[in-house]
Amino acid sequence: MAAATAIVDLWLQSEEQIKKDNRLTWETYNGLRTLKVTAIGAITGGVIGNEIYKSEFRKECMDSFSSDRFIRNALKNESIKSNVYKHAEVKIVKSDVKNTLFQAFSDDLVTFPEDVGSLAKGTALDSTYDIDIVLPIKRYNRFGSLSNMSTAIHNKIENLYRDKAVVTRKKKATNILFCNLSAPISVDVVYGRETGNYLNDKKLKLYTRPDYFWQSGKHFKTDIGIQKHLLVNKPKVREVIKAFKLYFKKNHIPVENALIDQLVFEAMSPKNYGTNSSVTENFLNCMDYISQKMGNNVIRDYANSNNNLLQKIDNFSRGAIIDLLNSDLEKIEVDSHYLREAFQF
């Protein structure tokens, strides 16, 4: 509106000068006048736009609306099975990578490469998921130190896939990106050494590469069993986790999956809000719970008590997340139609 008003005033001033047998120049141009009418146009445009938004929202509020149906339809559209061709391609890639890795490292593996991550837990969204695989390495192996093991395994994977994909060394894993498919498919391969008997306790020690060459790498323990089985037989918890992934994605807020999984799991436990038959009620309860927990300084990872899940979120970002959750929660509780705005569809 402001730009259009400025252009119109420029044209009007030109016409006025023509009638005076003059032409519009820097000397005859009234910039202050254009500035004034532009400001008026901007204010008018803002008021009109706001009124149009209010009118459209009032119309939506008059429509029959089921918040549960809305959320479940959103999740249905993001189901990994909604894209049949991609889902089939992902299954083929995952199977091929696991078989290839098993053949390459069979003498060092405790067991066949295992699925981990959102795909294994049933919380993946079609637009964001990738493949996560873990290689459980025997406690006594040919690699020696964790640092040597990490380097040797990465180098082997790079040799295996250098002509088929883009291989990238990450801090805790090796990423294999297949670009020559109908859509890029990303595979994260994590490798860790068993601390005791992996087949019984599912615990591994992983190596974290340093940011710079003069720094030393770190190692930490993780419980793959907790990661894989935390959400087993909890379909409603998984449903809300996927809703939060979609909610944070639509609002451009990067939150690690492990943090969402753990906080939603806690919120819907019997000692807190419990589990409701309504996905909307579960979602709102979890919004309140997550908002409270974001005010903490530390949230310990179930799978690794030394890992603070809030460590990567600075205070400013935490404050922004809390404000967003509280604001949207208040609006949705007043009128459930606001769910459409909160998810920004």
How confident is the prediction along the chain (345 residues), in pLDDT tens digits per residue?
Answer: 556 666 666 656 566 666 666 665 666 666 666 666 566 656 655 555 555 445 555 555 545 688 999 999 999 999 988 888 889 999 999 999 999 999 999 999 999 999 999 999 999 999 888 999 999 999 988 898 999 999 999 999 999 999 999 999 999 999 999 998 888 999 999 999 999 999 999 999 999 888 777 677 788 899 999 988 899 999 999 999 999 999 999 888 889 999 999 999 999 999 999 999 999 999 999 999 999 999 999 999 999 888 899 998 999 999 999 999 999 999 998 888 888 888 865
Q: Are the CB atoms for 167 and 223 separated by under 8 Å?
A: no
**Is the domain of 147 the same as that of 206?**
yes
**Is the domain of 252 the same as that of 316?**
yes
pLDDT at 21: 62
**Is the domain of 239 the same as that of 336?**
yes
| Residue 74 within a domain | no
**In which domain, by residue range, is 31 found?**
2-63
pTM for the full model? 0.79
| Residue 69 within a domain | no
| Residue 75 within a domain | no
**Is the domain of 185 the same as that of 119?**
yes
Total structural domains within the chain: 3
pLDDT at 343: 82
Instruction: Tell me the CATH number at 323.
Output: 1.10.1410
Q: Are the CB atoms for 157 and 191 separated by under 8 Å?
A: no
| Residue 202 within a domain | yes
Instruction: Tell me the CATH number at 160.
Output: 3.30.460.90
Q: What whole-number distance in Å separates Cα of residue 53 and Cα of residue 105?
A: 59
| Residue 70 within a domain | no
**Is the domain of 276 the same as that of 166?**
no
